[in-house]
């Protein structure tokens, strides 16, 4: 997600030239691309489905791709990672590239359903606790220290969770069945209970957790707002940093690394937290999916159902190369350079992508 607690699905054409208005070849004309047959029309289009939390960076990469491939229409589809999985699996939303805010969504949902062959882990981050300095309910949430991101971020006060439990305090997040930003908040509640050894802390925090309906387009300005409709939000640090640049009252604090999902060395500890979500609706896959907590890392794949694998490979090459690295360094999250894949997944990668990744079982 990108600075807001809502799960959404938005589609936009980033840029289109060449094929539009030029008399498209009949859709009956089929072109063979590898083992996939695609129409001449679809060969000039690329559906990029991605988590909202990488919107700014992916927009930059999409512009670079269009400059290099002026005949390809790029459709940008942004939303909650799990929501996008469901739409892809049910055939509602075609995706030539799928990028999730949690790389395990590919491993746990797309791969078992036969919809993906590999996961490329390309970026990392951490969760922070956001609030407004002008909100009386947030008083005392930060330990002493200057708020001057990215160089100086105060730690959360030792009793931060008690402040969240104050009467009337509300914590906002997206729906945990639709978006990793939502289920990671629930994981943080579980980890906080273990870390502070406070009985029933997880449930107590859940009682203050509010899921607001998605608001997009012109109505977004009048939608639920931090400091008015809710007091606290667990956010990706890079998204919080963007919000802080536009709102002088916006603040966030760092949580202990055993709670903020930031450190690969804590993965075995994080794994004690998990969230179970309903099945994604793929025929033959009817069991719920249990997602264990891991460090925050983004992953991508080219789905098996991609109608434009050659365009998709070209786009992913940009994401994993200098263009993507620059986009993530500017907008977040933190790029993993080179990106990581497992040993098994490396063998399944398109050959042209193999030089752009490294094999590693442990996230950095």
Q: In the predicted model, is pLDDT for residue 174 greater than 70?
A: yes
Q: pLDDT, tens digit, for every residue of 88-144?
A: 998 999 999 999 999 999 999 999 989 999 999 999 999 999 999 999 999 999 999
Verify that 113 and 135 share a domain, yes or no.
no
Q: What pLDDT, on the 0 to 100 scale, is given for residue 360?
A: 82
Q: Domains in the chain: how many in total?
A: 2
Give the chain's mean pLDDT: 87
Q: Please report whether residue 60 resides in a domain.
A: yes
Q: Report strand pairing: 120-124 vs 97-100.
A: unpaired
When comparing pLDDT for 34 and 188, which is higher?
A: 188
Q: Please report whether residue 346 resides in a domain.
A: yes
Q: Which of 64, 70, 68, 69 is nearest to 18 (CA)?
A: 70
Verify that 62 and 184 share a domain, yes or no.
no
Verify that 79 and 148 share a domain, yes or no.
no
- Which residue blocks in 73-224 are alpha helix, DSSP H? 81-89, 104-105, 160-164, 180-196, 201-206
Q: Please report whether residue 159 resides in a domain.
A: yes
Q: What is the dihedral of CA 68, 69, 70, 72, to 10 degrees?
A: -150
Q: What pLDDT, on the 0 to 100 scale, is given for residue 16?
A: 37
Q: Distance between CA 247 and CA 66 in Å, rounded?
A: 32
Q: Distance between CA 160 and CA 128 in Å, rounded?
A: 12
Verify that 98 and 152 share a domain, yes or no.
no
CB 77 within 8 A of CB 84: yes
Q: What pLDDT, on the 0 to 100 scale, is given for residue 3?
A: 40
CB 185 within 8 A of CB 176: yes
CB 325 within 8 A of CB 342: no
Q: What pLDDT, on the 0 to 100 scale, is given for residue 39?
A: 37
Q: Distance between CA 85 and CA 260 in Å, rounded?
A: 25
Query: Could you say which of 270, 287, 308 is where a domain stops?
Result: 270
Mean pLDDT, rounded, for 286-311: 94
Verify that 109 and 135 share a domain, yes or no.
no
Q: Please report whether residue 2 resides in a domain.
A: no
Q: Please report whether residue 74 resides in a domain.
A: yes
Q: Distance between CA 275 and CA 188 in Å, rounded?
A: 11
CB 55 within 8 A of CB 325: no
Q: Please report whether residue 292 resides in a domain.
A: no
Residue written as token pair 């891991």 = 294
Q: Please report whether residue 290 resides in a domain.
A: no
Secondary-structure breakdown of the chain: helix, strand, coil percentages, each rounded to the nearest 5: 35, 25, 40
Verify that 185 and 252 share a domain, yes or no.
yes
Q: In the predicted model, is pLDDT for residue 214 greater than 80?
A: no
What phi-psi label fits residue 295: left (phi over 0), alpha (psi between -120 and 50 degrees) or beta?
Answer: beta
Q: What pLDDT, on the 0 to 100 scale, is given for residue 286?
A: 59
Query: Could you say which of 270, 285, 313 is where a domain stops?
Result: 270
Q: What pLDDT, on the 0 to 100 scale, is given for residue 20?
A: 31
3-class DSSP state of 44: helix
Q: In sequence order, what are the residues at sequence separation of 6 or more whose Cβ sits closer than 8 angstroms to the Cβ of residue 269?
A: 191, 258
Q: What pLDDT, on the 0 to 100 scale, is given for residue 222?
A: 66
Verify that 131 and 260 share a domain, yes or no.
yes
Verify that 174 and 202 share a domain, yes or no.
yes
Mean pLDDT, rounded, for 324-353: 97
Verify that 239 and 335 share a domain, yes or no.
no
- Which residue blocks in the chain are alpha helix, DSSP H? 55-68, 81-89, 104-105, 160-164, 180-196, 201-206, 237-246, 267-270, 309-320, 322-331, 343-346
What Å distances lie between residue 54 and 14, 99, 282, CA to CA?
A: 15, 9, 26
3-class DSSP state of 196: helix
DSSP secondary structure of 243-301: HHHH-TTEEEEEPPTTTTT--GGGHHHHTT-EEEE-----TT--S-EEEE----EEEEE
Query: Could you say which of 220, 253, 270 is where a domain stops?
Result: 270
Global pTM reads: 0.87
Q: pLDDT, tens digit, for every residue of 263-298?
A: 999 999 999 999 999 887 655 555 789 999 999 999
Verify that 134 and 220 share a domain, yes or no.
yes
Mean pLDDT, rounded, for 336-361: 95
* Burial zone of 310 (CB within 10 Å; 0-12 exposed, 13-18 middle, 19+ buried): middle
> What count of other Cβ atoms lies within 10 Å of the Cβ of residue 254?
20
Q: In the predicted model, is pLDDT for residue 28 greater than 70?
A: no
- Residue 343: which domain range? 9-125+297-359
Verify that 137 and 257 share a domain, yes or no.
yes
Q: pLDDT, tens digit, for every residue of 35-68?
A: 333 333 345 899 999 999 999 999 999 999 999 9
3-class DSSP state of 340: strand
Q: Please report whether residue 160 resides in a domain.
A: yes
Q: What pLDDT, on the 0 to 100 scale, is given for residue 10?
A: 57
Instruction: Give me the CATH number covering residue 312.
Output: 3.40.190.10
Q: pLDDT, tens digit, for every residue of 232-270?
A: 999 999 999 999 999 999 999 999 999 999 999 999 999
Verify that 178 and 90 share a domain, yes or no.
no
Q: What pLDDT, on the 0 to 100 scale, is given for residue 250?
A: 98
């Amino acid at each position: 997600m990108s600075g807001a607690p809502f799960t959404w699905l938005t589609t936009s054409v980033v840029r289109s030239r060449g094929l539009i208005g030029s008399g498209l070849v009949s859709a009956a004309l089929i072109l063979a691309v590898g083992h996939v047959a695609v129409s001449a029309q679809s060969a000039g289009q690329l559906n990029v489905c991605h988590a909202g939390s990488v919107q700014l960076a992916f927009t930059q990469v999409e512009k670079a791709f269009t400059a290099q491939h002026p005949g390809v229409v790029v459709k940008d589809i942004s939303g909650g990672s799990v929501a996008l999985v469901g739409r892809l699996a049910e055939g509602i939303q075609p995706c030539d590239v799928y990028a999730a805010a949690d790389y395990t969504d590919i491993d746990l949902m797309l791969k078992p359903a036969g919809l993906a062959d590999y996961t490329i882990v390309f970026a990392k981050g951490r969760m922070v606790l956001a609030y407004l300095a002008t909100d009386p309910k947030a008083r005392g949430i930060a330990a002493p220290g200057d708020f001057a991101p990215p160089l100086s971020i105060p730690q959360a006060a030792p009793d931060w969770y008690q402040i969240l439990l104050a009467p009337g305090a509300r914590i906002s997040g997206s729906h945990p069945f639709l978006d990793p930003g939502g289920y990671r908040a629930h994981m943080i509640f579980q980890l906080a209970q273990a870390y502070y050894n406070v009985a029933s802390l997880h449930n107590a925090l859940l009682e203050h957790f509010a899921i607001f309906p998605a608001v997009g387009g012109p109505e977004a300005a009048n939608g639920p707002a931090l400091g008015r409709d809710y007091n606290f939000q667990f956010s990706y640090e890079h998204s919080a940093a963007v919000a802080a640049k536009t709102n002088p009252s916006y603040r966030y604090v760092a949580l202990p690394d055993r709670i903020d999902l930031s450190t690969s060395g804590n993965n075995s500890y994080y794994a004690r937290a998990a969230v179970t979500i309903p099945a994604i609706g793929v025929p033959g896959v009817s069991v719920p999916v249990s997602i264990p907590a891991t460090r925050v890392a983004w992953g991508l794949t080219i789905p098996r159902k991609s109608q434009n694998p050659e365009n998709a490979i070209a786009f992913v090459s940009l994401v994993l190369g200098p263009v993507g690295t620059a986009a993530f360094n500017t907008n977040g999250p933190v790029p993993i350079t080179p990106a990581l894949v497992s040993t098994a997944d490396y063998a399944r990668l398109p050959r042209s992508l193999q030089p752009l990744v490294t094999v590693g079982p442990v996230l950095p």
